[in-house]
Homo-oligomer: A and B are copies of this chain.
Amino acid sequence: MSVITISREFGSGGRELGKRLAEKLGCAYYDQEIITEIASRTALSEQYVQQIIEKKPAASYPIHIGRTFHPTTSYHASQSQKIFKEQCQILREMAEKSDCVIVGRCADYILREHDPFRIFVYADMERKIARCRAKGAEDETLTDRQMKQQIQGVDKNRAQYYGFCTGGKWGDRKNYDLCINTTNIEIKTIVQMIAKMFE
């Protein structure tokens, strides 16, 4: 192996899968580290980078199209592009440094020349809500309906960001080597299964 990328629906356990898989394979794991590194290189705050990355970029020409016909007018859009450029650079450095598992960040697309093994993780809404509840945190007081809306909101942003950066459809099976439904399968079992491919 060299690079495994994990895209995931919110609450599907994709991050846990990534961490455990990297541990099992004895390789690097990148997730929040990427945001931290972008922030450090761009002198923007982590919070701001996170916000730009998790929201739909402001109306501007899609990043994945090489040339721009319209001059970028908004400050927000130019920040988006600056952050995306750093993101690409950092991901490439990570992929070249060592074997690694990368969660999110359109890494499946950005690192396509490295032939990553591309995983998409998903689950039924009920299971995702249960997983979010089990993690606890500040969402404890939300009703199921509110939590569902939150999950759908995060995934909508992810889909928009992916579409904006890659021109492709987030979650479309064609963009992945393996799509895993974590509704009925334990993450531990999935880790054993995937690790088997890289033995």
Query: Chain A interface: which size bin?
Result: 20 to 34
Binary contact track A96-123/B, C-beta < 8 Å → 1, others 0? 0000000000000000000100001010
Q: Which of B115, B185, B196 contacts A177 (CB 8 A)?
A: B185
> Which listed residue, B171, B173, B196, touches A193 by the CB 8 Å rule?
B196
The CA of A179 and the CA of B172, in the complex, are separated in Å by 11
* Interchain CB contact under 8 A, A173 and B181: yes
Residue A192 interfacial (CB < 8 Å)? yes
- Nearest Cβ on chain B to A98's Cβ, whole angstroms: 22
> How long is the Cα–Cα vector from A122 to B194 in the complex, in angstroms?
18
Q: At the interface, yes or no: A180 with Cβ under 8 Å from chain B?
A: yes
- Tell which of B174, B177, B180, B185 touches A184, judged by Cβ atoms closer than 8 Å: B177
Which of chain B's residues have a CB closer than 8 A to the CB of A120?
A: 173
- Which chain A residues numbered 43 to 59 have a C-beta less than 8 Å away from chain B? none
Pick from B173, B176, B193: contact of A197, CB under 8 Å: B193
CB pair B197–A192 under 8 Å, yes or no, is yes
| Chain B residues positioned under 8 Å from A183 (CB to CB) | 177
Interface string of A151-193 (1 = CB under 8 A from B): 0000000000000000000010110111111011100010011
- A: residues with CB less than 8 A from B are 115, 120, 122, 124, 171, 173-174, 176-181, 183-185, 189, 192-194, 196-197
